[in-house]
Amino acid sequence: MDELEFRRQLLANPRERESEFMAAANENSSNRKLFDEMQSFESKLESALKVDVPEGMAERLILRQSFDTGRSQYKRKARLHLALAASVAFALGLSFNSGLLSKFQQPDIGSVALAHVYEEMPYTSQANEHPNLAMVNAKLARYGASFDSMPGQVKYVNHCSYHGGPALHMVIDGKMGDINVFVVPDGRGLKPSQSFGDKRMHGLVQTLQNASMVIVGDRMETLEPTLQSLSKNFVQSI
Amino acid sequence: MVFGRKKVGRSTVNSDMEEKQKRYEALVQALHKDIYRYAYWLVRNKQVAEDIVQETFLRAWRSLDSLKDESSAKAWLITILRRENARRFERKQFDLVDIEDHNVADTTSMTTEQTIEQQWLYKQIDKLENEYKEPLLLQVVGGFSGDEIADLLSLNKNTVMTRLFRARNQLREALENESQRGAQHG
């Protein structure tokens, strides 16, 4: 490789390490010098090009996409609901007396909680709104209940749609990530369950006066103490 | 029966969705920095760069199923980004320069002299014609080979290598002139 070709290749790609090229780099002192010079030049170039990336950008990219998902799911759901309503009406008309209705299975309270946690994870995992006791209790008032004191480090509290009716959804800090807490009023027709889980998360249900408290956390999280202190702290006035 | 079938269908849809979501998040985590830096040098403005990156990833999400091979994800995103950028130019010509207020990465561990040198290098990179700058960005920021750059820019490889040579040559010449001037003053 002549010097001109060596120089051409070196400047086109200083990080080239192909054997013929490296032989040329070591052939004489002037090539060697130019090679070393270009290595340090390249390091400067690399670090200059490596500008700071705005903080939280990955999270913003994921959040924006989750809104996009929410929108398209909503459209799909609306169509699905319409189709479902039609087929329910049809099934009702056909089989009101045939006992088919008894086979219609309601989901259990735990699997609804799990599905809800997954669905809202993109929103709730970003939230840290530091609500105070008054804000938590203001949301709870609707369910005729309140907390005596702040139930742990609360990050998020709101109403949510829980199998077609309102429930309280609260996110608190656990040892292994977020713990989702639901207060679900009775009369939702859900099958009871005491504990539930999948590969990633598990949960427990505590039956209260006119409601159930459902908590969901990471598989590795010990939920019993949290559930105990939550329900001890919980006052139902209705 | 009808309901039973419906339920199965629904949960498959959900797990497909979860799978897609995971794939997307992995893509964001692995590549958003390189993609942002590429956008930044193309448009030289932090806000516009972030907007383009947002658009790019949103489009990527919507057509994620068309990405068959994860190893070509970066080239795929760059292609989307370049198209986004071209679209922006069709809409409106921007001439925004905030290059000087952009902090260089990791300035804390650098001496003032190094920072000044780097700021100077910024301006020189910025002065490069796009036809030289883009292959250089693809090579240094994107880590692409000459062949891959040729593919991305629809050029032949020799042209790419020549442009890479010229880009560095220009930067080096500017550097030499600068140090000569410095010597005269000093």
d(CA B26, CA B73): 11
Are B58 and A68 in contact by the 8 Å Cβ rule? The answer is: yes
All residues at 6 or more sequence positions from B100 whose CB lies less than 8 Å from its CB, including other chains: B119, B122, B123
**Which of A8, A62, A87 is the closest to B2 by Cβ?**
A87
Decide if pLDDT at B29 tops 90. Answer: yes
Fold of B104-186: Arc Repressor Mutant, subunit A (1.10.10)
Helix then strand count (H, E) for chain B reads 7, 0
This prediction has a pTM of: 0.56
Domain ranges of chain A: 3-49, 57-104, 106-236
Look at residue B40 in the predicted model and tell me its pLDDT: 94
Calpha distance A11→A16 (Å, rounded): 10
B18 CB neighbours in chain A (<8 A) are 118
pLDDT of residue B11: 61
CA distances from A238 to A146, B25, B67, B162 (A): 11, 44, 55, 80
* Residue A191 CB partners (closer than 8 Å, separation 6+): A105, A106, A107, A108, A109
Quick one: pLDDT at residue A82?
62
What are the extents of the domains in chain B?
Answer: 1-102, 104-186
Percentage of residues in chain B with pLDDT exceeding 70? Answer: 78
Per-residue confidence in pLDDT tens, chain A, 238 aa: 899 999 999 999 999 999 999 999 999 999 999 999 999 999 999 999 999 999 999 988 988 887 776 555 555 555 666 666 666 665 555 544 444 444 446 788 988 898 888 888 877 777 888 888 988 888 888 888 888 888 888 998 988 888 878 889 999 999 888 999 999 988 888 888 888 988 888 999 988 888 899 999 998 899 998 998 888 888 887 5
3-state helix, strand, coil in chain B (%, to 5): 85, 0, 15
Smallest Cβ distance to A8: which of B29, B118, B165?
B165
Question: What residues are paired with A205 via a beta bridge?
Answer: A214
For residue A110, which of A191, A165, A186 has the smallest C-alpha distance? Answer: A191
Poorest-pLDDT segment among A205-209, A223-227, B14-18, B94-98: B94-98
Interatomic CA distance for residues B41 and A46, integer angstroms: 13
Token pair 């999280």 in the structure block, residue: A221
Quote the pLDDT of residue A98: 45
Rounded to whole angstroms, how far apart are CA atoms A136 and A129? 11
Mutate to test the interface with B, among A4, A17, A33, A61 (most CBs of B within 10 A): A61
Of the pLDDT bands very low, low, confident and very high (cuts 50, 70, 90), residue B1 is very low
Q: Flag whether pLDDT at B82 surpasses 90.
A: yes
d(CA B21, CA B8): 20
Confidence of residue B166 (pLDDT cuts 50, 70, 90): very high
The CATH class for the domain spanning A106-236 reads alpha beta
Q: A with B: how many residue pairs have Cβ under 8 Å apart? A: 109
Q: What contacts A216, CB < 8 A, 6 or more positions away?
A: A113, A114, A117, A179, A180, A182, A201, A202, A203
Structure tokens belonging to residue A58: 């990955």
Does pLDDT of B165 surpass 50?
yes
Q: What is the mean pLDDT of residues B123-140?
A: 94
Tracing tokens 């088919």 back to the chain, one arrives at A100
CATH 1.10.10.10 fits B1-102, yes or no: no
All residues at 6 or more sequence positions from A228 whose CB lies less than 8 Å from its CB, including other chains: none
Give the chain B residue whose CA is nearest to the CA of A50: B105
Chain A interface, best mutation among B25, B34, B77, B128, by max A CB count within 10 A = B25
Q: Which residue has the higher pLDDT, B81 or B10?
A: B81
Residue B83 is predicted with a pLDDT of: 92
CB contact under 8 A, B36 and A54: yes
